[in-house]
Chain A
């Protein structure tokens, strides 16, 4: 039995198990920490798919950035202590029906399609090729995404400073 196989099943079960804990946990802080393990498992799956740069980016951006933002959101929007960390679950039956239907349909479609698989050569690292692509074929989306990030940052800063200005005016 190959090491890759063991690692795949290990990381897939870590990813799916902690995603399940994230969805069904009653405590939103537990959900956020389960999301961290899910994102790390996904990064490990990226490594198994020869995407080392994307795995590093996933760890930096998701675990180091988005998760911290989500935890800040949890802290800043909680009234009182642990009471409001509890979150309400509604529509349990229709939601689970729809998601099970989605899962069954997707898995059926994935397994019944005859994919044309071509084995690419094992990559040692992808950073050089990704950099050449970014400066070549993908130069326009690269610039557009830079402008998008700038707009998003300015928008987020504007919204939150207006918030604190209103708070100061009220008090």
Chain B
């Protein structure tokens, strides 16, 4: 086991982080597609944003992108904060009007 773990393929490199972010992305897609609670869909979107961020920062660590990748990641976090605030305000308005937050039951354009 010790010998196995010392081989270079297990040392975390760029592709290890990319695989983690790909799995996180697919879990986020799963949450967005299969759950019908609006807040669960919002959490899935947060997972997707985080997986994109891991990609950006992994590339900034392992390639010549350097600090630019971290900078873009910072802006992604800021925009995610703005998105969450506005989305929850919208969800509260929708709940007030339709008395539900099930996505399939919210089907009117004019409330």
- Which residues on A sit within 8 Å (CB–CB) of B80? 61-62, 66
CB distance from B61 to the nearest CB of A (A): 4
Q: Does B85 have its Cβ within 8 Å of any Cβ on chain A? A: yes
Say yes or no: B50 contacts A42, CB within 8 Å.
yes
What is the size category of the interface that chain A forms with chain B? 35 or more
- Which residues on B sit within 8 Å (CB–CB) of A90? 34, 36, 104
Q: How far is the CA of A27 from the CA of B9 in the complex (A)?
A: 38
Q: How far is the CA of A66 from the CA of B87 in the complex (A)?
A: 11
Say yes or no: B36 contacts A87, CB within 8 Å.
yes
Q: How far is the CA of A48 from the CA of B4 in the complex (A)?
A: 22
Q: How far is the CA of A152 from the CA of B51 in the complex (A)?
A: 23
Q: How far is the CA of A72 from the CA of B18 in the complex (A)?
A: 33
Q: How far is the CA of A77 from the CA of B38 in the complex (A)?
A: 10
Tell me the interface secondary structure of chain A in the complex: helix
- Which residues on B sit within 8 Å (CB–CB) of A76? 92, 95
- Which residues on A sit within 8 Å (CB–CB) of B63? 115-118
Tell me the interface secondary structure of chain B in the complex: helix
Mark each residue of chain B from 1 to 32: 1 if its CB lies under 8 Å from any CB of chain A, else 0.
01001100011111111111011111111110
Say yes or no: B85 contacts A69, CB within 8 Å.
yes
Q: How far is the CA of A88 from the CA of B71 in the complex (A)?
A: 38
- Which residues on A sit within 8 Å (CB–CB) of B5? 1, 5
- Which residues on B sit within 8 Å (CB–CB) of A141? 75
Say yes or no: A65 contacts B43, CB within 8 Å.
no
| Closest residue on chain B to residue A87 by CB atoms | B37
Say yes or no: A77 contacts B74, CB within 8 Å.
no
Say yes or no: A50 contacts B61, CB within 8 Å.
yes
CB distance from A100 to the nearest CB of B (A): 7
Interface centre among A15, A19, A31, A69 (most CB of B within 10 A): A19
Mark each residue of chain B from 78 to 103: 1 if its CB lies under 8 Å from any CB of chain A, else 0.
11111111101111110110010110
Q: How far is the CA of A15 from the CA of B67 in the complex (A)?
A: 24
